[in-house]
A and B are shown apart, each in its own frame.
Chain A
Amino acid sequence: MIEIILYILLGIGVFFNGLGSLGLLRFPDVYTRLHASTKCTTFGSIFTSFAVIVYGVYHWYGGSNSYGVLAVHAFIALVALVVTNPTGAHAIARAAHRSGVYPKKAVVDKLQERGDLND
């Protein structure tokens, strides 16, 4: 039973991590690459870390305290990853736009039309 739950969680995580890495290679632009890789790898890392938390909590109820410490620390690492990852992606995108790398096939770019208003 616990093996099936772990296989499902790890499978979802690896699938979305693979989609993010594939999008990093296939998309034409820095913004679309950032869009693909950040969201997909964050979602996939949530599920692989959640598999570790389920594994630790299951063995914690089995009687071993070190597995409980493993689950709690995996949860703290997951919170650190989820809080910091979108912020870093936002900083990269803003820095790319301000350093003069504009989207390639953009129909409209409101931020570029505003000019130096946001500096």
Chain B
Amino acid sequence: MIEPFFLVAALLLIFMVCGIIRIVFGPTIPDRVVGLDTINTLVVAAMIILGAAYNEVIYIDVAIVYALLSFIGTLYIAKYLEGGM
């Protein structure tokens, strides 16, 4: 009953490696930001899955805060790239 959640979290970890490859080899700066944004989404999904796997509600609260803070970080980088600051 619990093992599929751990399997899904491991697969999401493999998908995060794809984003890390894009961050390392990305030709331009917005490519790297796209890789970072994808990793943020996958981290939030993995936090929700692991909160169900360990039966800990506090992990899902961390996922809520992480989703909002990563959104603010993405907006900050975008504002800097378009020359607003």
Interface on A for B, CB 8 Å cutoff? 3, 6-7, 10, 13-14, 17-18, 20-22, 24-25, 30, 33-34, 37-38, 41-42, 44-45, 48-49, 51-52, 55-56, 66-67, 69-70, 73-74, 76-78, 80-81, 84-85, 87-89, 91-92, 94-96, 98-99, 101
Q: How large is the interface on B (under 10, 10 to 19, 20 to 34, 35 or more residues)?
A: 35 or more
Minimum Cβ distance to chain A for residue B18 (Å): 4
B residues sitting closer than 8 Å to A (CB atoms) are: 1, 4-5, 8, 11-12, 15-16, 18-19, 21-22, 28-31, 33-35, 37-38, 41-42, 44-45, 47-49, 51-52, 55, 57, 60-61, 63-64, 67-68, 71, 74-75, 77-79, 81-83
Per DSSP, chain B at the interface is helix
Task: State which of A22, A67, A80 has its C-beta within 8 Å of the C-beta of B64.
Answer: A80
Choice from B4, B51, B81, B82 contacting A7 with Cβ under 8 Å: B4
Taking a contact as CB atoms under 8 Å apart, the answer to whether A10 and B8 are in contact is: yes
Minimum CB distance partner of B61 in chain A = A73
Q: How far is the CA of A51 from the CA of B46 in the complex (A)?
A: 12
